[in-house]
Amino acid sequence: EVQLVESGGGLVQPGGSLRLSCAASGFTFSSYWMHWVRQAPGRGLVWVSRINSDGTSTSYADSVKGRFTISRDNAKNTVYLQMNSLRAEDTAVYYCARDDILTGTDYWGQGTLVTVSS
């Protein structure tokens, strides 16, 4: 069974940093691209970042470019999102999702809440 479990969320002050983790199981992690998607309270889904299967290629939404870094450790079956210079508008539930080459983002974790507030 495919499972994605996010962790690392919490309360952080504006300007602070946080690293999210997403532990994957139930599939060959090193064969799949991975995404981070966020959802502010009461708002819609917003794509944040993606990383290819071996970690050599990444993309970011303009709103986080230069502040967030996606990475992965295929030996640990884990994808990360390092978030720096956090702003109030980064407050959201952050989901990691698996990307299947045929079907797209087919499995999602349950999300981890990041709150940026003083």
Partner 1 sequence: EIVLTQSPATLSLSPGERATLSCRASQSVSSYLAWYQQKPGQAPRLLIYDASNRATGIPARFSGSGSGTDFTLTISSLEPEDFAVYYCQQRSNWLGTFGQGTKVEIK
- Interface size with partner 1, residues (CB under 8 A): 20
Contacts 24+ apart (CB under 8 A), 99-108: 99/32, 99/33, 99/34, 99/35, 99/50, 100/32, 101/33, 105/35, 105/37, 107/2, 107/4, 108/4, 108/37
**Contact pick of 59, 82, 91, 115 for partner 1 (by CB under 8 A):** 59
Q: Which residue is associated with the tokens 């970690």?
A: 55
Closer residue to partner 1, CB minimum distance, 71 or 105 = 105
CB of 106 to partner 1, least distance (A): 5
44 forms part of the interface with partner 1 (CB under 8 A): yes
Of the pair 63, 117, the CB lying nearest partner 1 is at 63
Strands 112-116 and 10-12, bridge-based pairing: parallel
Determine if 114 is a binding residue for partner 1 (CB under 8 A).
no
In the complex, which residues of this chain contact partner 1 (CB under 8 A)? 35, 37, 44-47, 50, 59, 61-62, 95, 102-106, 108-111
